[in-house]
């Protein structure tokens, strides 16, 4: 399929990696998806969101630390992590009151 220009169907893998995988598994998944270079920012964002939805923030952080610099420094990725951190802090403040 890839030789015909059809993109792979990867949605089930996001769910699997986010629920039972590690940061290393996520990197291996991203490397297996492409033959030339690391996948796009949108694929990485989708995987980060899947980790956050599965309540696996530490694995998302581990995955982020192993990503290339162009992904770690991307504005959308930084915004996603900041919004998750602020919502986590808000929930902790609400519980402690």
| pLDDT confidence tier of residue 40, bands split at 50, 70 and 90 | confident
| pLDDT confidence tier of residue 64, bands split at 50, 70 and 90 | very high
| pLDDT confidence tier of residue 62, bands split at 50, 70 and 90 | very high
What whole-number distance in Å separates Cα of residue 50 and Cα of residue 45? 9
Residue 87: per-residue pLDDT: 67
List Cβ neighbours of 70 (8 Å cut-off, separation of 6 or more): 41
The more confident residue out of 39 and 65 is: 65
What whole-number distance in Å separates Cα of residue 17 and Cα of residue 21? 4
SS3 assignment, position 67:
coil
Indicate the domain borders of the chain: 2-96
Q: The pTM is what?
A: 0.74
Angle at 56 between CA 13 and CA 75, to 5 degrees: 85
Q: Sort 20 into a burial class: Cβ within 10 Å, 0-12 / 13-18 / 19+.
A: exposed
Q: What is the mean pLDDT of the chain?
A: 80
């Amino acid at each position: 399929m890839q030789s015909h220009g059809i993109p792979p169907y990867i949605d089930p893998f996001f769910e699997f990696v986010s629920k039972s995988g590690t940061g290393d598994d996520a990197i291996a998944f991203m490397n297996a998806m492409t033959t030339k270079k690391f996948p796009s920012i949108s694929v990485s964002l989708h995987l980060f969101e899947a980790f956050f939805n599965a309540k696996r923030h530490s694995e998302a952080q581990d995955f982020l630390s192993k990503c290339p610099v162009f992904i770690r420094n991307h504005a959308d990725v930084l915004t996603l992590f900041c919004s998750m951190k602020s919502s986590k802090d808000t929930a902790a403040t609400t519980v402690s009151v």
